[in-house]
Every structure is written in C-alpha cells, then in structure tokens.
Structure 1
C-alpha cells in the first residue's frame, strides 16, 4: 500500500476515535464512528484475497447496522427531550437501543457472530487494530452512559459473553479465532461491572489491550496463525516461547500475573453489590477460557522438547531485531499485580 494512503487511513482512524472521545452530541458521535469504520475497511482488503473481501463486507454490514441503530436511539431520545446531548439520555427505550447498538459494534454475545469470522479473514496487524483500537470509541460512549443503562441487561450480556467466549474457543485451531473468543469473554467482564463501577471497566479495558497487543506482536513476530505452528517455537525461539507462555497465563487470569488483577477486583465489587450468584457464574465460566489458554501453553512449551534429537529440526533463529514495545508490554503483562494499590489510587 502507498505510504501516503496508509498515513491518511491511520490519521482518519485516530481522528474518528478522538472525535467520539470529545463529543457529547449524538450526531458528532455517529460521524466519528462512521469515519472510524470507513478508515479500517481499506486496511482489511489491501491484500487482495477472497477471505479478506468477505471479512470486510461482513464488518461493513455489521458496523453499518450498529451505527444506524445508535443514530436511531439518539434521534428518538432527541425527539422526546429536545436535545442532542448524550448526557440527556433519560428515555429507557433509547438507552436500551443504544446498549444493543454498542454491543453489536464491539462484539458482545449474542451479537458476536461477526467477530471470529472477520478476524479470521484479515491479517494479524489489522486484527490487532480491530481488537484493541476499535474498542475504544464504543467504550467511551458506554462509560459516559453508564448511569442511564439498565444494569440487568448489562449483566445478562456480560454473562452470555463470558460463557460464549469460553465455550466457543474450545474447539478452535486458528489463533485469530481463539483471540476473537478471548476478546468476547473479556468484553463480558468489562460490561458486567460497567453500571456499578465504570473505573473498573476502564482498568479492565487497559489491561486487556496490553495483554492482547503483546500476544498479537508475538504472533506477528513468529508468523503464527495456527496452533500447530507454535510447536517448533521452543527449538527456534526459546525466549519468545517463554514470554508467550507467561502472557497466555496472564490472559487467562492466573495469579500472580497481571490478568488476575481486573478479575479479582470485579469479583470483589460484585460481591459488595450482593451479586454472589453472578460472581460465582463468572468465576466458573473463566475455567472454560483458561482451558484453551492452557492448550496453547501446551502447544508452545510441551509439544516438542528443547533437548537435542536425531530428527531433522529447525535451527534456532538468530535475533533479527530488538522489539522494545514487546519488552515493555511483557513486563506490564507479568508484573503489574503488586502495583494494584497504586493503580487503584490513580484510577478511582
């Protein structure tokens, strides 16, 4: 792709998200979301492949439906209130429509069917943008509307997403689909606590972006798209395989890694809200996600022994270039749990 076109698309992507961040008018929010959607579609299809075209078409239709539903929610609220301001969302029907529209936009279950298929058809780099940056604008709207949203609806969507995300990733062999179902499960945790403590939703979103970015960078670095491509990593890149192992365990939420922090805080807050049954179901549903993370850990570290064998194996790949971003993200993936009191002080 032409560097100038790529620069224009990336600037448009950032401008659409920032416009959504700073706007309180429903019309400007809708415009920002549309700019964001239109900017990423050329990035999906810059490699001319039928799967990429199919993924871009599915993404466009889904996002167009969600944007139309969100605009309808804003128009119906403005019809009753007389203002286009987001803070004046007092009509419960409009708030419910906006909730479903944003759930469709980010891929919450049961509106999640497009996310694994779209992520499977695009490159790893574009998938990184889709699973991290593209979540920011819808969550900025949800965080501003958290007081007006129905907590029971959010809890149902969150529980459904956690269950579907864990169950759907069990029989997958493609890494992009596994990360898609992982995204669905993590989004369920964020939405479940949104009404009661939006700061925890923001903290969970930040941790999720750090963990997912580190995983995508490692998959891009090793050019891995299926589980069976992870098997030779211990022979070729032993340090990378160790980092990937710890990152996967952190993504699964095992202590004492960073991924345990948001789950711990969310379960604690749900218990304070006397939602013991919801917290129990969420904690048990996490075991489903943990299973396919451990399956990836098995493929990375235990499938092929690092000892010398007589069978023809690949030589260790020499370090080609330093990756400072991966080093920083790996440290954050592993070592942020002891800093939980400081992080709570800064975010609460």
Structure 2
C-alpha cells in the first residue's frame, strides 16, 4: 500500500469508480462510474519527472475519453430511437454498446493503444492497467454479450493478436501487454458462457498478474536480455519470476492452468470444440514466449558476466509479498484439487 496520502485517496476513488460502474442499474450510472475511474487513474499515471509517464497518461486519456464519449452517444441514441427505459435489444444493440467497452478493455482489434501506454508506465500502474481497469468494462459487457459471430470474431482476434504480437518483443512490459490481450480473449469466452466462470478467471488472472509484476519489479528487469544478467545470489528471485510467468502462461502444474481447464471443459460442453482448439493453440504460443524468457536462466550452465555488480533488492516487505504470491501461484492448483476432492 502506498504511504503517500494522495495515492491512497486516488486508489480509493479508482476502486469506488469500478464499484459505481458495476453496481449501477442504468447505463448513465455505469458511464459515470467509468469516468470516476478514469479521473482517478490519470493522476496516478502522471509523473512530471518522467516524460514517458506523461506521454502514456495522455495517450490513455485520449483513448478512454473517445471510448466514453462513444458509449454515452450510443446509449443516448438507443434510448431515443427505441425505448427510454428497457433498451429493448435488437440484433445490433450488443455490438453497438460493446464496441466502446472493448476499446476500454484493450481487446483486439481495438488494442492499438495498449502496448504504447504500458511501455511508459511504472510497474505498479502496469498491474492496475492489466487488472482493475479491465474489471468494469468486462462486467458491463456481461449484460449484453451473446454467443454470436461478432463475439467469436473478437475472441479469435484477441487470442491470435495476443499470441503472435508477443513473439518478437524484447520488452517485458510489451510481453505482458500482449499476454493481457490474449487473456482478455479468454475472459470474453468466460463471459459468454457464464458470469461465475469469468469471476474465477478474472480473480486468478489478477492474482497472477500482480505476482509477476511484483517479482519482476524486485529483480529490476525491463528487457529479456537483462534476465540473464541478474545475480546468481538472487536465485529465489529468479525462480519466483519465472514460475509466476509460466503460471500466467497456463502451464499445468501451476494455478494459471485451473481457469483455462474449466473454460475448455465448458466450451466442449457447449459444442465449441473448434474454438477451444484455436484458443488452446494460441495459449501455447504465449507459453512459448514465456519459456523464451525463462530457459536461459533455468539452464544449469547459464552464464553471467563478471561485471554484474547489481545487488539484489533487500526490501523485506516486497520480498515476503512476492514470495507469498508466487507460492500461491505454484501450489494453488494442487490446493484447489485437494479441496475439491475433500468436498
């Protein structure tokens, strides 16, 4: 928790914006919640000492305002042309209102702003952007989303763009961005099938994203080639970072596999086996670029330059938090299986 009172206030209003948005019984109230959330996040992003933070916050502000304006315009237009209170659904209603929400959540093909914004943010803000900022748009989409061609095309594009986009990246932030786009595709599948599925997936994904960010922040890594430069003394830190990454990719022994497993089962039960095949293949591609980061450090004969003088971080609280989160990531699947078998 930040010790700066301004940050605490902004984080409180950020979360309250999400709560207003998801608990509102009208689209106008939902829009107001989204705006409260946006107005709280922009000051958190901005930093006058860092030019990249200012640029990222400006990009994010313009995109989110565009999405919010479009959403308000669409809702007002629908209420004026159809029914003021019930918003009776036609074939195009879900598509019209979901489009600005998809832009807000960074789903493909409306993801173009996401990598650029993530690249200019601090790790704490990256974690917020990948988790909390996706909650309200996705929850609002759950009221409208249907299993149709539009939803399928968005899901396929998100999973494919998220998988292929991360293959040629060297920046850890951009790799996490494309992974987040891929996970957004999975979350949209979960929303289309069942809201409880989405809740489970989002909770696990948020935990894993925070775990990865806390482990990467401790090691001070921003690019792939720096993973080989971390100290041999910081073995635990390396282990935490790479197991968390593999868990986020959905490797079976780890917790990240659990929600994907449940969603694949639900898709097969709903006769969506071809879609399940495509999303599993794209998930394997995301796992490939996580392994690309991890393999050099997992090797027994990994090299380290002699001039590497960077001392490991000694912040005890951060170390304990990262260790606790990564242990949940490693043992979570086993714990869930044991609990399910007991009950």
| TM-score normalised by the chain length of structure 2 | 0.90
84, 92, 103: which is aligned to 1:82?
84
Tell me: CA distance 1:316–1:333, structure 2 relative to 1, closer, same or farther (3 Å).
Answer: same
Q: Which residue of 2 aligns with 1:111?
A: 110
SS at match of 1:92: coil
1: CA distance, partners of 2:339 / 2:18: 25
2: CA distance, partners of 1:235 / 1:57: 40
Q: Superposition pairs for residues 182-221 of structure 1, below 5 Å?
A: 182-221=179-218
Report the CA distance between 1:37 and its aligned residue.
0.8
Matched, 1:317 2:312: yes
Report the CA distance between 1:6 and its aligned residue.
2.4
**CA displacement, residues 104-161 of structure 1 (integer Å, 9 cap, x when unaligned):** 0010000001001000011111111111111111122123334xx3533222111111
Report the CA distance between 1:281 and its aligned residue.
1.1
Give yes or no for contact 2:219–2:313 (8 Å, CA) kept in 1.
no
Q: Structure 1: which 5+ runs fail to align?
A: none
2: CA distance, partners of 1:2 / 1:199: 35
Q: Structure 2: which 5+ runs fail to align?
A: none
Report the CA distance between 1:97 and its aligned residue.
1.4
Q: Which residue of 1 aligns with 2:334?
A: 338
2: CA distance, partners of 1:207 / 1:82: 38
2: CA distance, partners of 1:259 / 1:318: 27
Greater shift in the superposed pair: 267-276 or 329-338:
329-338
Give yes or no for contact 2:98–2:144 (8 Å, CA) kept in 1.
no
**CA displacement, residues 69-98 of structure 1 (integer Å, 9 cap, x when unaligned):** 221232233221221x6xx55233232112
Tell me: CA distance 1:339–1:97, structure 2 relative to 1, closer, same or farther (3 Å).
Answer: farther
Tell me: CA distance 1:341–1:200, structure 2 relative to 1, closer, same or farther (3 Å).
Answer: farther
Give yes or no for contact 1:270–1:279 (8 Å, CA) kept in 2.
yes
2: CA distance, partners of 1:238 / 1:193: 36
Q: Superposition pairs for residues 170-181 of structure 1, below 5 Å?
A: 170-181=167-178
Q: Report the number of matched residues.
A: 338
2: CA distance, partners of 1:215 / 1:92: 40
2: CA distance, partners of 1:310 / 1:300: 13
Matched, 1:8 2:9: yes
Q: Which residue of 1 aligns with 2:322?
A: 326
SS at match of 1:256: coil
Q: Which residue of 2 aligns with 1:98?
A: 97
Tell me: CA distance 1:119–1:42, structure 2 relative to 1, closer, same or farther (3 Å).
Answer: same
Tell me: CA distance 1:301–1:129, structure 2 relative to 1, closer, same or farther (3 Å).
Answer: same
The alignment's C-alpha RMSD in Å is: 2.5
Q: Which runs of 4+ in 1 moved over 6 A?
A: 342-345
